[in-house]
Amino acid sequence: MTVVVDDPLIASMAISRPLPLHESSRRLRELYAACPRVYGVAVIGDLSRRRWWPLAELVTTDRLATMFDAGLAETDSPTAVAQQLAATLAHVVIGRVVPLLALEGRAWDNGLENLWAHIDSEGAIDWVGVQDPTVRALPDDPYFADRPVAAGLAAQEGIVALPSEAALTTWVAHRSHCALAPLFARLAEVSRGTLSVPAMWHLVGGTVVGAATQIPLLAGSSELVSMRRGQAVLDALVRFGLPVRGMKRTHSMKVLLN
């Protein structure tokens, strides 16, 4: 039996004008109703900003160093703390947008300047928000079925069509790269190099694979489409020179490589 949780943050959202991202995030939350913040994002304009802060503060302030020190207070393994923080950053930036890409062929802007984080009472990130709610979508998105695809009009409605799936997956990879590169560099600095930046990018590969694999199981959607889109994001990251894959695996049933 599915357990529906009445999340106070979600219940307090004041949505004055529903946008495509609101509908997509609602559908994503329904995939795991027991923990509705696992999938989807909030729109910052809909919420009180208590416990919310721009993700870019991890680069410009001592916030990431504070998070690292808090992790060290609970365990004496700097490497484990660095791995946990790198995995968290990967999930916040790319691990949350890949499910929407895999399921609906849409993506919010996951650039560093657009993302916000919400922390729980212990200082851990437990939800993510966006400043600009505009989503990029495929030309055959249902939104455009009975509407003109004029760029200006669509942008006002919170959705913009990109020309192809290749363009959309490359855009997601590019925005992810731009966001994670400074975050990983800062994490390497505050952790004194205990975890290499290439190792952090390898965690990104695992994050993409995990998200693209899990969504068809939860949504009953096409495994082939999900894997193809996840693979395309990984391919684009590799073209950018990022080590998101480990050694090649020869298992014939392995569709997504990491």
| Residue-wise pLDDT tens digits, 110-148 | 999 999 999 888 888 999 999 999 999 999 999 988 766
Cα-based torsion angle of the residue sequence 123, 126, 93, 159 in order, rounded to the nearest 10 degrees: -130
Q: Reduce the DSSP state of residue 52 to 3 states and report it.
A: strand
* Residue bearing the bigger pLDDT, 110 or 154: 110
Q: For residue range 175-207, what is the model confidence (pLDDT) as tens digits? A: 999 999 999 999 999 999 999 999 999 999 999
CATH number of 51-239: 1.10.510.40
Residue in this structure with the two tokens 């959607």, named with its chain if needed? 221
| Per-residue pLDDT at 253 | 34
Whole-number average pLDDT of the chain? 89
Q: Is the pLDDT of residue 258 over 80?
A: no
Mean pLDDT of 21-26: 96
Q: Distance between CA 179 and CA 112 in Å, rounded?
A: 4
Q: Where residue 155 falls among pLDDT bands split at 50, 70, 90?
A: low
Q: Strand ranges (DSSP E) for the chain?
A: 42-43, 52-54, 106-108, 115-119, 125-130, 135-137, 159-161
- In order, the DSSP letters of 94-105 are IITHHHHHHHHS
